[in-house]
Chain A
Amino acid sequence: MKSIKDLEAIRQRTLEEVNLRNDRHGIRVVVGMGTCGISAGARPVMMEFVEEIKRRGVQDAMVTQTGCIGVCRLEPMVEVYMPGQEKVTYVLMTPEKVARVVGEHLINGNPVTEYTIGAAE
């Protein structure tokens, strides 16, 4: 990196990807992969999201990892950011639950309420 301009260029380039407001483009699926999440089984959940998204041919969706979200007792947690929608937090995820989230939420736009944090609270 030669200058602060370069830093700003990276910022702008990545900004759309990580835009967490509902005016974003594309789907962002974020899997909590702190020690808590991984030990609760986040890795197979993340792999299943990648596979299922591929299987169903969902366009413009990105699966990514993040650190501890904080509610360690409800790990594995997955947050889904969709264009035009508020963020949805899924808790106690399993690879078996993934197909429904991809099918109903990512493809059809209806969050699977019973898997969300509100249902677990």
Chain B
Amino acid sequence: MDLFRSQVLICGGTGCTSSGSPELIRLFEEKIKEAGLEKEVKVVRTGCFGLCEMGPIVIVYPEGAFYSHIKAENVEEIVNEHLLKGRIVRHLLCREAVEEEGATRSLDEVDFYRKQKRVALRNCGVIDPERIDEYIAFDGYKALAKVLTEMKPQEVIDVIKASGLRGRGGAGFPTGMKWQFAANSVDDQKYVCCNADEGDPGAFMDRSVLEGDPNAVIEAMAIAGYAIGATQGYVYVRAEYPIAVKRLQIAINQAREYGLLGNDIMGTGFSFDLDIRLGAGAFVCGEETALMQSIEGKRGEPRPRPPFPAVKGLFDKPTILNNVETYANIPQIILKGADWFASMGTEKSKGTKVFALGGKIKNTGLVEIPMGTTLREIIYDIGGGCPGGKKFKAAQTGGPSGGCIPASLLDTPIDYDNLIAIGSMMGSGGMIVMDEDNCMVDIARFFLDFTVDESCGKCPPCRIGTRRMLEILERITEGKGEDGDIEKLETLAKNIKASALCGLGQTAPNPVLSTLRYFRDEYEAHIYEKRCPAGHCKKLLKYTIDPSLCKGCSLCSKVCPVGAISGEIKKPFVIDSSKCIKCGACQEKCRFNAIVRK
């Protein structure tokens, strides 16, 4: 293999290719040859760097100089200055990559991290999840040792109760109470289950905990087993999380090998073992009764409650079911005490919450914040705001069961009760940010579409009602909305909420209700004016050319795939709406901003 002293990496991802990188590659090769450097410098076409908005991107190694927005005319300068003379062309460097004095080098100093408080995620990103020894080094299994040797089962439940921990799966039921009910049930066999069937679109908190710190969940489940008197546990995790499943299985095997699972744990006489059950990806199996049916090998359908699982759950035995994140908090509550945990958060919601930030936000990722942090802090201070300077419109929490929070409520402190009060819910922690380009009617339609797909079909309100709602929403987004549609949606929503069998159906209308509450004007614009204010709903859009701005360059008519644009050179062009398929190609190409989308 030839050795090169320097490599020029040019992004050949879809984004950079469309912003002109193939031409750059050709030019670099040409100029490098001209300079006689072809034996020393290699031009490499790479995959996407993930910063498509700064494309085309060129990186020169070994210096790692990161050039952004490179144009054909810059190539010669880079070749002559950087490759030939070894001087980095600083004015072409990506602005953010330019070094400054006292540069930040550690993640801990970045705003994204400083506002966070890591409890459930404390080991994620720190330890090797496939080595139980590292977990033990960070006080792992110490909480289990403590409860087995120093505490009675009731004392464990009392600590959890006093901590104020509430279920992190979304509904926010007090965990200590749940454990108490199961402990009070008398039976020869009880079960501890973990819900890792994370199905909300955009949510990945549980996956990250299982991938990053599986032993915390195992330890907590053993503690729960001791507290309620169970000897067997099941983790129900979706098969779409192969890495999480693999690491959890490794952790279980290592814990068994060390005698931290199995018979007579640490010589205390307490026995507890754990098995994984894979879910096939049905959203409804995240509902507790459906999940237990699925573990039993039956079709995943919910059943009426009561009896509650704490009385009659898995295999008709008393069962507790907690979410991954809930469990991840338990060992530290035992070690550091209920008061420590209760000192974080708000009056009724203690501790921290993990959120998966996604959508139109700069810092897509995983954050853990104390309860009571405001939405503004999460979105702007931690999340970095909407990219491209776009205006924030709403944040969606709680997935298909939750709602949209508008900009006017950005200063609401996040906790279970506040979110319910403003028409959303905590949910498992997905947070999808939307900017001015998102149509709220279409968002509601998207979530209803999801629920209709995922409805198990057992109860009519959910099976038929959500479909009727979806049909109305589809009509509205297609410009066929009628007077009275909003009222019909409201009536259906009210009835479905009151009569559906399980949480999936009862909460399915929430996205519609919350968008109606805060963005009713958008619904009305769709129905009465046949117009989409966000410019998103294709059927309601119309592309026109502003004759005062059009220079008649004909570029638009050349890119139009259906030949809908015509005109004479140097005179304003026109778009034939009957032919236009609203692809937007003309608008992208127009150099004079003459094409208007309305």
CB within 8 Å for A117 and B110 given contacts A35-B243, A71-B365 = yes
Contacts of B366 in A (CB 8 A): 68, 70, 72
Shortest B277–chain A CB gap in Å is 20
B137 touches A18 (CB 8 A): yes
Interface size on B, residues (CB 8 A): 68
Contacts of B212 in A (CB 8 A): 34, 66-68
A89 touches B107 (CB 8 A): yes
Tell me the chain B residues, 331-382 only, with Cβ under 8 Å from chain A.
362-368
Report the Cα distance A20→B123, complex, angstroms.
12
Tell me the chain B residues, 249-265 only, with Cβ under 8 Å from chain A.
258-260, 265
Contacts of B111 in A (CB 8 A): 121
CB within 8 Å for A11 and B136 given contacts A38-B243, A66-B126, A68-B212 = yes
Shortest B210–chain A CB gap in Å is 8
B266 touches A1 (CB 8 A): yes
A66 touches B107 (CB 8 A): no
Shortest B361–chain A CB gap in Å is 9
Contacts of B124 in A (CB 8 A): 34, 66-70
Tell me the chain B residues, 147-194 only, with Cβ under 8 Å from chain A.
149
Shortest B64–chain A CB gap in Å is 6
- Closest Cβ neighbor of B362 among chain A residues: A73
B125 touches A66 (CB 8 A): yes
A96 touches B7 (CB 8 A): yes
Asked if B548 is an interface residue, CB under 8 A from chain A, the answer is no
B365 touches A7 (CB 8 A): no
Contacts of A17 in B (CB 8 A): 134, 137
Shortest A59–chain B CB gap in Å is 21
B106 touches which of A14, A66, A88 (Cβ 8 Å) = A88
Asked if A47 is an interface residue, CB under 8 A from chain B, the answer is no
- Closest Cβ neighbor of B126 among chain A residues: A66
CB within 8 Å for A20 and B126 given contacts A11-B136, A118-B105, A118-B109 = yes
Tell me the chain B residues, 438-461 only, with Cβ under 8 Å from chain A.
none
B105 touches A117 (CB 8 A): yes
Contacts of B99 in A (CB 8 A): 113-114, 119
Asked if A25 is an interface residue, CB under 8 A from chain B, the answer is no
Contacts of B211 in A (CB 8 A): 34-35, 67-68
Contact indicator per residue, chain A 84-118, by CB within 8 Å of chain B (1) or not (0): 00111100100011011000000000011111111
Asked if A58 is an interface residue, CB under 8 A from chain B, the answer is no
A13 touches B129 (CB 8 A): no
CB within 8 Å for A87 and B108 given contacts A4-B266, A65-B130, A114-B99 = yes
Contacts of A30 in B (CB 8 A): 125-126, 128
Asked if B96 is an interface residue, CB under 8 A from chain A, the answer is yes
Tell me the chain A residues, 1-18 only, with Cβ under 8 Å from chain B.
1-4, 6-7, 10-11, 13-15, 17-18
Shortest A47–chain B CB gap in Å is 16
- Closest Cβ neighbor of B46 among chain A residues: A94
Report the Cα distance A60→B261, complex, angstroms.
33
Contacts of B123 in A (CB 8 A): 67
Report the Cα distance A97→B7, complex, angstroms.
11
Shortest B550–chain A CB gap in Å is 39
Q: Which of B138-146, B287-295, B429-437, B466-474 contacts A (4 or more CB under 8 A)?
A: B138-146
A70 touches B137 (CB 8 A): no
B106 touches A87 (CB 8 A): yes
Interface centre among A11, A14, A70, A112 (most CB of B within 10 A): A70
Which are the 8 A-B pairs with shortest beta-carbon distances? A67-B212, A118-B104, A69-B125, A1-B259, A14-B137, A89-B107, A68-B208, A116-B105
Q: Provide 17 A-B residue pairs closer than 8 Å at the C-beta atoms, listed in order of the A residue.
A: A1-B259, A1-B265, A1-B267, A6-B258, A11-B140, A18-B127, A30-B125, A35-B204, A35-B241, A66-B125, A66-B129, A71-B107, A86-B105, A87-B106, A88-B106, A116-B103, A120-B96
